[in-house]
Amino acid sequence: MLRDKVCIVTGGAQGIGRCIVETFAKQQALVVFACDMNPQSMADYRERFQNVQPVELNVCDRKAVAAFIAEIKEQYGHIDVLVNNAGITRDNLLDRMSEDDWDAVVNVNLKGVFNMTQAVAPAMIEGGSGSVITMSSVVGTDGNIGQSNYAATKGGVIAMTKGWAKEFSRKGAQVRANCVAPGFIKTPMTINLPEKVIAHMESKTPLGRMGDAEDIAEGVLFLASDRSRFITGQTLKIDGGLVI
């Protein structure tokens, strides 16, 4: 489904990002750049996949992001898919949330997405096609206790994406922008939550379980591929019915 496509996935070392990288590689992408701050966790990629390139990159570092994207443009001449997946949480009730917790989450989840997309979009527009997929969350549409910072960023990316859908296609380019909003997914981000919280969330989910990273990667693959060629500005919820 991704033959000949040049793809970039941020936060590609673990969890949902790792699963997206592997799914794209198996779908015969020309190359998948797995970008993460944690290179040790990506050491296996080169021996397992010929078409995955691990890259140490902090999405908050605008200079490093610009230099990396310029290199890819130079080497391949086109960029087809950007998945803004890197994200963090620093949860606390509003009255206890520190300025550092606010800034850290906004910096990665919102400014990181801005940095990456701003660097990549011109190449897509120039090339006449492309797909930008940004990881939101059901928290970005419906909010959650203790996640003011996270909710602001995950709602913010939905709003940015709607604007981009209009902006990127202004001159006729088939450059699409969409979000995926996962529900409650089994990854290192959620694995240490208390058993009680997990049981409660599962009981609130009509399909009765936490999602797997694969459940999310399938949706991202669809939005990355030409099978979703007439879909832009949308948010695809993948949550087992948690938020209806």
Asked if 185 interacts with ligand NAD (CB under 6 A), we say yes
- The DSSP bridge pattern shows strands 6-10 and 174-182 to be unpaired
Catalytic residue among 150, 164, 168, 184: 150
Q: C-beta of 4: minimal distance to ligand NAD in Å?
A: 26
- Position 223 contacts ligand NAD (CB under 6 A): no
Residue 205 engages ligand NAD in binding (rule: CB under 6 A) = no
Shortest Å, Cβ 171 to ligand NAD? 30
Using N-to-C axis directions, what is the helix angle for 148-168 and 99-106, rounded to 10°?
Answer: 30
Question: Judged by CB under 6 A, which of 9, 17, 25, 31 binds ligand NAD?
Answer: 17
SS3 category, 43: coil
Nearer to ligand NAD, 6 or 83 (CB): 83
Q: Which amino acid is at 115?
A: N
Tokens of 81: 């898919």
**CA separation, residue 108 to residues 59, 156, 163 (Å):** 7, 12, 20
Interface positions, 107-126, toward ligand NAD (CB under 6 A): 108, 112
Contacting range for ligand NAD; rule: CB under 6 A; set: 30-38, 46-54, 92-100, 164-172: 30-38
Site stretch for ligand NAD (CB under 6 A), options 63-71, 161-169, 186-194, 221-229: 186-194
Q: Where are the alpha helices (DSSP H) in the chain?
A: 15-26, 45-48, 62-76, 99-106, 112-127, 138-142, 148-168, 195-204, 213-224
In the complex, what is the shortest distance from the CB of residue 120 to ligand NAD, in angstroms, rounded to a whole number? 15
Q: Provide CB contacts within 8 A for 16, sequence distance 6+.
A: 85, 135, 182, 185, 187, 213, 216, 217
Smallest gap from Cβ 85 to ligand NAD, in A, equals: 5
Active site residue 76: no
State the nearest-atom distance from the C-beta of 90 to ligand NAD, in Å: 11
Give the per-residue contact string, 33-62, with ligand NAD (x = CB under 6 A; - = no). Answer: ---xxx------------------xxxx--
Between 59 and 98, how does the x/- string for binding to ligand NAD read (CB under 6 A)?
xx------------------------xxxx----------
Identity of the residue, 125 or 183, whose beta carbon is nearer to ligand NAD in the bound complex: 183
What is the distance between the alpha carbons of residues 145 and 167, in angstroms, rounded to a whole number? 33
C-alpha distances (whole Å) from 213 to each of 120, 152, 190, 210 are: 25, 23, 12, 10
The Cα–Cα gap between 47 and 109 comes to 30
**C-beta atoms surrounding 210 within 10 Å:** 20
Distance CA 97, CA 40 (A): 31
**Residues within the interface to ligand NAD (CB under 6 A):** 10-11, 13-17, 36-38, 57-60, 85-88, 108, 112, 135, 137, 182, 184-185, 187-190
